[in-house]
């Protein structure tokens, strides 16, 4: 069952989408969304500071950071989003780094980026390609070979 679960979503793509989400968070469009103060899921009214950015289709499921896929979500609903599969738990943790950083709008304004280091990503996700995925196609970058 549940064929639509595509667990092979490329972690690099997730990273890219999350970067896009960060960009979107700085837009007037997003500000307008949270100014409305309504949680997409429970319909409750919240001050903008209580609303986090949520992907309707999670990035870990191949969702994209588009306006159509991003909604304001109250913290209770955000925390209530539980998945049963262990891989999802990890990816959910990764997802959570995003909304959390909304709690520090000052940081966003000073251009400080909160980014997971590659090593951590690799540890959490398992098979993140090497930092430069450009070096993948057979260019022998091995110093040992020069001897
Ligand atoms: Zn809610």
> What CATH number did the domain enclosing 22 receive?
1.10.30.50
Using the mean position of ligand 1's atoms as its centre, give its distance from the Cα of residue 76 in Å: 6
Q: What is the pLDDT of residue 107?
A: 43
Using the mean position of ligand 1's atoms as its centre, give its distance from the Cα of residue 58 in Å: 16
- Position 111 in a domain: yes
- Return left, alpha or beta for 45; rule: phi > 0 is left, psi -120 to 50 is alpha, else beta: beta
- Position 1 in a domain: no
- Position 5 in a domain: no
Using the mean position of ligand 1's atoms as its centre, give its distance from the Cα of residue 56 in Å: 13
β-strand 70-74 against 51-55: which pairing, if any? antiparallel
Range of the domain at 16: 11-125
- Position 138 in a domain: no
What domain count does the chain have?
A: 1
Using the mean position of ligand 1's atoms as its centre, give its distance from the Cα of residue 35 in Å: 15
Closest C-alpha among 19, 20, 18, 51 to residue 33: 51
pLDDT digits (tens, 9 = 90+) for 88-120: 555 555 566 555 445 544 444 445 555 667 777
84/28 Cα distance (integer angstroms): 35
Using the mean position of ligand 1's atoms as its centre, give its distance from the Cα of residue 53 in Å: 11
DSSP three-state, residue 73: strand
For the segment 24-47, the average pLDDT, to the nearest whole number, is 96
Say what the pTM is.
0.51
- Position 19 in a domain: yes
Q: Which alpha helices (DSSP H) does 5-62 contain, by range?
A: 11-25, 28-36
Number of Cβ within a 10 Å radius of residue 98: 20
- Position 130 in a domain: no
């Amino acid at each position: 069952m549940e064929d639509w679960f595509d667990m092979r979503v490329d972690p690099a793509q997730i990273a890219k989408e999350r970067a896009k989400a960060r960009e979107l968070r700085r837009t007037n469009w997003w500000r307008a969304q949270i100014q409305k103060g309504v949680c997409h899921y429970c319909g409750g009214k919240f001050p903008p500071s209580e609303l986090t950015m949520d992907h309707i289709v999670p990035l870990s499921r191949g969702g994209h950071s588009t306006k159509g896929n991003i909604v304001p979500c109250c913290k209770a609903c955000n925390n209530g989003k539980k998945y049963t599969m262990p891989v999802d738990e990890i990816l959910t943790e990764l997802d959570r780094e995003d909304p959390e950083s909304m709690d520090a709008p000052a940081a966003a304004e000073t251009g400080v980026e909160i980014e997971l280091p590659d090593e951590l990503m690799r540890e959490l996700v398992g098979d993140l390609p090497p930092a430069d995925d450009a070096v993948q196609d057979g260019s022998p970058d091995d110093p040992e070979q020069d001897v």
